[in-house]
Chains A and B, each alone.
Chain A
Amino acid sequence: MIQGILICSLIFLSFAIFATIYRLVKGPTAPDRVQALDALGINLISGVAIFSVLLRSTGFFEVILLIGILSFIGTIAFARYIERGVVIERNHSD
């Protein structure tokens, strides 16, 4: 029963992922793509979570956290890049 539900949600998740990938490829502007990437990261988090329930394992919780952090940092970095042209600004004393 629960397995069926999990597989169903995985399939829906896959649809969501493909939709965001469409936006990633198509997206007319860079911010569109960054947002798509961010959404993709969130989708992956839920995918891994469903997998770990399916596999009955707690070993993948760190992966979930990591994807969260990475997607956050990635989004911030891209945002900074779009806003200011560089990701890491130089010290003024340099």
Chain B
Amino acid sequence: MTLLHLAILSPFLAAILVPFLYKLFRKVHTGWFVLVLPILLFIYFSQFVNRTMEGQPVISIANWIPSLGINFTVYIDGLGLLFALLITGIGALVILYSIYYLSKNKEQLHTFYVYLLLFMGAMLGVVLSDNIIVLYTFWEFTSLSSFLLIGYWYKREKSRNGAQKSMLITIFGGLLMLGGFIMLYIMTNSFSIREIIGQVPEMSQHDLFISALVLILFGAFTKSAQFPFYIWLPDAMEAPTPVSAYLHSATMVKAGIYLVARFSPVFSGTPEWFWIVSAFGIFTMFWGSFNAAKQTDLKGILAFSTVSQLGMIMSMLGVGSAAIALDSLDDNIFIVATLAAIFHLINHATFKGSLFMVVGIIDHETGTRDIRKLGGLMSLMPITFTISIIGAFSMAGLPPFNGFLSKEMFFTSMIRVLEMDVFNVETIGLLFPIFAWVGSIFTFIYSMILVFKTFTGKYQPEKLEKKPHEAPIGMLISPMILASLVIIFFFFPNILAYTIIEPAMASILPSLLADGGHFHVHISGWHGPTPELYMTIGVVLLGVLGYLTLTKWRSVYRIVPKKLTLNKGYDRALYCLDKSSLGITKFYMTGFIRDYLVYIFTFFIVILGTALIIKQGFSFSLEGTAPVGIYETVLAAVMIIGTITVLFSKSRLTAIIALGSVGYTLSLFFVLFRAPDLALTQLCVETVSVALFLLCFYHLPEFKKKEKKLRFRMTNLIISLGVGTIVTLIALSANSQRVTETIASYFIENSYKLAGGKNMVNVILVDFRGFDTLFEITVLGIASLGIYGMIRVNVKREEEG
């Protein structure tokens, strides 16, 4: 346990304190106490930058379950540090924002900050763990805390639905990911990511390799809202806006990106990885931006835009993985995709965070997020307008904002897919730049909708619940910081280049670096009249055209009927699952004991029968059997007659008497086979039980006393015959396959010698095996007490009634 472990676990520890602080200091907004922690953590983590720049990762191990190889190993390299800084930095800004966003008097602040801190700690654990089981643990913690945060306003039905949906989808992916992790363990016998990466050459031939790849990607895709699992993200917008800004733009949805980047050294270089990651990514990018343009809710636009941008990062990671296949650093043209992915990851966190906060401000100050009600806020909220225009233009990919740089690099990497000569890309490689370009046009359109539908146009005060005015300055600090970062990163992108981006690239593509080598990272705003530039110009021109003619082509969205959307599919699937499982349960859980007995006996017959057939257990021999005498035959005949009478008797009384006759015949059998004690007991017991049966018969209610013959059922006949046959066959087979001598001779020799009794049965009952007798006495005691209890309790109830 070092300071590093403590740093990761500190949000969890702080979460314990939050409710106390909330109760003790009601005058102070609880957020101020919480704010301290992410700032401290941010400062603490930024001191590792020097270490990772030199390519020296920080490793620290704390034992957790050493016997299973599961230890809390913290491993800080460029990638982990980048995410840790994002989590703590944006975490601090979001908490600052939430202090002004959430009312001290109306909201349950302590639960909010407990959930948020849980989430922050879980996220730090995910990105800094080297052990995949620990990573999985923290991963599920993020799902859980995200569930709690989405359902923060638990009295609204939509919040609950959104929380449930995100929970189901992300946990589904998380469990599949666990399966992938376990497969990795089977292949490498290690839970440590570094050791797994070390064993990649031997492992990639393993049968489970591709399955592990697919399962881990399931986890990453569900978490990062890739197609078709993106459906939970728009519904998660029911969460408070700080949560949306933090979880659903900057951190949690990037956990999947982190996972793909982290496992790139293991899986990249395989065509499956390249194809799944980049194809799903690019399609998600297109699909998300296409759908974002039809939303009317500001947060809806941002949700789909997040989906689209995540798809963009994912596709760049996929294309970047092709760099491994080329296997040389010099003029390796695909490295730029990885570079662009990391750069855009940072950029997206800045501008999307600020946009979410801006939307929160608009919601807070006007009472609505519907763009049909908003308009003309430019002069009323000038600062908010400035911030949102910076964020949206950066998202659209315009200079002078950082989104322009990463979009240019995105186009570069997509164009370079055309030059790719591995993984059979030649065939449909052309689709990559086309999807990227069309997706970018839609990105431009929805970015414009976001800004101009809100801030320009006609001011409609009659539709607004409140009188809009500029937000308090405290609420504006965080988005202003993020917006200024957007501009700073454009003019000085190289402050990030060798401090953050290069070490992160080194952890994604370690095999391309010789010892001590570095990637050449150079990001520039102007790189000559390249095809990328023309593509951007085309995006702007078509985007402007598309935005201006929005009303004309909007009907495109009605081509796909609502019934066929993925959300309807999800709802239908849940409904059908519910319905069909209920149907199946109702089908076999009939409530009739008769039916359950049919199941039990059917399985009895089937399992015993097949086991006997498979193991060839049937064997019949007459060796060692005693000769059949006349008395046994007569008694057996009597017994059979009695049994058949029971089955075919018309009245219950006949059945009882016939059953009694079977019992007495049995006692005569005992006499015949020389078991006097058994005969005695059997006689007594039979008498008593016949008396009891008569008692039951006498007390049957009058109205049901109509005596009917037993109804005939074919299944019952078959099953009873089957059970009889099986038992008989087993008894015969067991008798003809005696393996060892009986131990009876021991009792014969020793019952007088050791126990001093001549009645061997009784000596066995009370001396050799007295334990059984003790507990049979107990059984009788319990039965009698139970009967007494049942009778007394009934009497009491009647008295009370």
> Which positions in A face B, CB cutoff 8 Å?
14, 24, 44, 47-48, 51-52, 55, 57, 59-60, 62-63, 66-67, 70, 74
Query: Is A57 within 8 A of B672, CB to CB?
Result: no
Query: Is A59 within 8 A of B684, CB to CB?
Result: no
Q: A60-B676, A60-B679, A62-B676 are in contact. Are A48 and B671 (CB under 8 A)?
A: yes
- Is residue B598 within 8 Å, beta carbon to beta carbon, of the partner chain? no
- From B631, B667, B676, B687, residue with most partner A Cβ within 10 Å: B676
Q: Complex formed: what's the CA distance from A24 to B668 in Å? A: 20
Q: Complex formed: what's the CA distance from A59 to B631 in Å? A: 18
- Is residue B477 within 8 Å, beta carbon to beta carbon, of the partner chain? no
State how many angstroms separate the Cβ of A78 from the closest Cβ of chain B: 10
- List 23 A-B residue pairs with CB atoms under 8 Å apart, sorted by A's residue number: A14-B634, A44-B664, A44-B668, A47-B668, A48-B671, A51-B631, A52-B671, A57-B674, A57-B676, A59-B674, A60-B671, A60-B676, A60-B679, A63-B667, A63-B671, A63-B676, A63-B679, A63-B680, A66-B683, A66-B684, A67-B683, A70-B684, A74-B687
Query: Is B671 within 8 A of A70, CB to CB?
Result: no
Q: Which residues of B contact A47 (CB under 8 A)?
A: 668
Q: Which residues of B contact A67 (CB under 8 A)?
A: 683
Query: Is B683 within 8 A of A70, CB to CB?
Result: yes
Q: Which residues of A contact B680 (CB under 8 A)?
A: 62-63, 66
| Chain B residue at minimal CB-CB distance from A47 | B668
> Which positions in B face A, CB cutoff 8 Å?
631, 634, 657, 664, 667-668, 671-672, 674, 676, 679-680, 683-684, 687
Q: Which residues of B contact A63 (CB under 8 A)?
A: 667, 671, 676, 679-680, 683
Q: Which residues of B contact A14 (CB under 8 A)?
A: 634
State how many angstroms separate the Cβ of A30 from the closest Cβ of chain B: 11
Query: Is B676 within 8 A of A70, CB to CB?
Result: no
Since A48-B668, A66-B683, A67-B683 are in contact, a sample of 16 more A-B pairs with Cβ atoms closer than 8 Å, ordered by chain A residue number, is A44-B664, A48-B671, A51-B672, A52-B671, A57-B676, A59-B676, A60-B676, A60-B679, A62-B676, A62-B680, A63-B680, A66-B680, A66-B684, A70-B684, A70-B687, A74-B687
CB-contact partner of A51 in B657, B671, B683, B687, under 8 A:
B671
Q: Complex formed: what's the CA distance from A14 to B665 in Å? A: 13
| Chain A residue at minimal CB-CB distance from B676 | A59
State how many angstroms separate the Cβ of A21 from the closest Cβ of chain B: 9
Q: Complex formed: what's the CA distance from A51 to B679 in Å? A: 13
| Chain B residue at minimal CB-CB distance from A71 | B687
Nearest 9 interchain pairs by C-beta: A59-B676, A63-B679, A60-B676, A70-B687, A51-B671, A66-B683, A62-B680, A66-B680, A63-B680
Q: Which residues of A contact B657 (CB under 8 A)?
A: 24
| Chain B residue at minimal CB-CB distance from A73 | B687
State how many angstroms separate the Cβ of A6 from the closest Cβ of chain B: 11
Q: Complex formed: what's the CA distance from A52 to B687 in Å? A: 22
Q: Which residues of B contact A62 (CB under 8 A)?
A: 676, 680
| Chain A residue at minimal CB-CB distance from B670 | A63
Q: Which residues of B contact A48 (CB under 8 A)?
A: 668, 671
State how many angstroms separate the Cβ of B792 from the closest Cβ of chain A: 14
Q: Complex formed: what's the CA distance from A24 to B658 in Å? A: 12
Q: Which residues of A contact B668 (CB under 8 A)?
A: 44, 47-48
State how many angstroms separate the Cβ of A61 from the closest Cβ of chain B: 9
Q: Complex formed: what's the CA distance from A14 to B680 in Å? A: 21
Q: Complex formed: what's the CA distance from A52 to B668 in Å? A: 11
| Chain B residue at minimal CB-CB distance from A11 | B634
Q: Complex formed: what's the CA distance from A48 to B664 in Å? A: 12
State how many angstroms separate the Cβ of B547 from the closest Cβ of chain A: 96
Q: Complex formed: what's the CA distance from A41 to B668 in Å? A: 13
State how many angstroms separate the Cβ of A32 from the closest Cβ of chain B: 14
State how many angstroms separate the Cβ of B666 from the closest Cβ of chain A: 13
- From A51, A57, A60, residue with most partner B Cβ within 10 Å: A60
| Chain B residue at minimal CB-CB distance from A60 | B676
Q: Which residues of B contact A55 (CB under 8 A)?
A: 674
Q: Complex formed: what's the CA distance from A62 to B676 in Å? A: 8
State how many angstroms separate the Cβ of A45 from the closest Cβ of chain B: 11
Q: Complex formed: what's the CA distance from A24 to B660 in Å? A: 13
